Chain A
């Protein structure tokens, strides 16, 4: 397995992906936006959305700067299911009146080079690179799936939420999902055991 990029040890998932094996790795990539590199020019960004991964997310600002808007997952009505543009709201006040109050409970931050933003995929988030930015923004998005999340169960139904998310993506292939889920859980455990031996404090935090 050849790496494209040398990442710090705690973001290096080579061992984890090798453990999954070719079939499950393919399935894994189908389900998760695992790592992405964004080159974002002035005036552009990602619309308001949530991710279905139920994972921890880290975005590492490699160069330039990017603005972020984050609202709790239960603010779906207030963000009009992602229709609102948090960065251009002044022009949309009449169309989305509820967001005027909702935004006060949300976060806004400008991420600069070298900074890492952490959030959970349940949160609504939108990005924007300033219209007058001198240079594009470069960032990497990295996921980390906690074993606790794999085991997370719905309070209502008592069923594993993770499997439900996978089932949502895969229709009715429930038997295959169980096998995938078991393998994922095992590889996650191996990765965690490996990271426990990593010298950097961030490894300890991820554990």
Chain B
């Protein structure tokens, strides 16, 4: 402690400091070290303020801001892709009335077997091809029961949807019970689409 005090006194009495004090105008900081420190504090405050503002934008949670891309004459605003579960959690903390839609990045879900087990026509046929379902088919379905195919297995409905009658462009909307129950085994005795 004694040695540290001695060094401080030595520093203050150095010719450089003495000269600065002598030439300082009235009201000006008389210690160059204090002035430098004040500048560093101010700079730190500005940087911290900027980061606080950026990370508290609604729904962004430190992710890059939404970007505007001009594709021809149509303006497009792209959704943020959240790259960590923490970021997703923060996005959910935004009150519902201000919460924006967002995308959860694929690297967070890469190990989920559901993608390989259900992400193709072959997988769909293998898993539920023989199950009965009501399937809506149409180029752009306007209502829930429009163009629906009743009393078919999912496989036959898929075949119908792929037929040339529909021009090869269709949207198949298969019942609401996936991941929940095998509708065929329920008391209703039929399958349906909502």
Interface residues of A (CB under 8 A from B): 1-8, 11-14, 17, 22, 26, 29-30, 32-47, 60, 62-64, 70, 89-90, 103-109, 111-120, 123, 135-136, 138, 140, 142, 148, 201-202, 204-205
Contacts and interface: CB of A to CB of B under 8 A. Distances in A.
Contact of B177 (A35, A41, A64): A35
Given A138-B119, A205-B85, A4 B169 contact: no
Contacts of B171: 38-41, 44-46
**Interface of B (DSSP majority class):** loop
B127 A90 contact: no
A37 B109 contact: no
B6 interface: no
Given A8-B114, A46-B140, A107-B100, 4 more contacts: A4-B131, A5-B178, A6-B114, A115-B105
**Most chain-A CB neighbours within 10 Å: which of B79, B117, B120, B142?**
B79
B121 to A, nearest CB: 7
A35 B180 contact: yes
A114 B115 contact: yes
Interface string B64-76: 0010000011111
A29 B192 CA distance: 10
Nearest to A142: B179
Given A40-B172, A115-B81, A33 B101 contact: no
Contacts of B113: 6
B173 A38 contact: yes
Interface residues of B, number: 69
A39 B161 CA distance: 10
A138 B118 contact: yes
Contact of A117 (B103, B141, B144, B178): B103
Contacts of A22: 186-187
| 9 nearest CB pairs, A to B | A114-B106, A63-B119, A119-B101, A201-B85, A62-B119, A43-B169, A116-B104, A2-B182, A7-B179
Given A107-B78, A115-B81, A3 B104 contact: no
B119 to A, nearest CB: 3
B109 A114 contact: yes
Contacts of A46: 140-141, 171
B139 A44 contact: yes
Given A41-B169, A44-B139, A114-B106, A4 B182 contact: yes
B92 interface: yes
13 contacts: A4-B128, A5-B114, A32-B176, A32-B194, A36-B175, A36-B176, A46-B141, A47-B142, A63-B120, A107-B79, A113-B115, A117-B101, A118-B102
Nearest to B135: A39
B183 to A, nearest CB: 8
B156 to A, nearest CB: 14
A14 B76 contact: no
A140 B162 CA distance: 19
Nearest to B142: A47
Contacts of B3: none
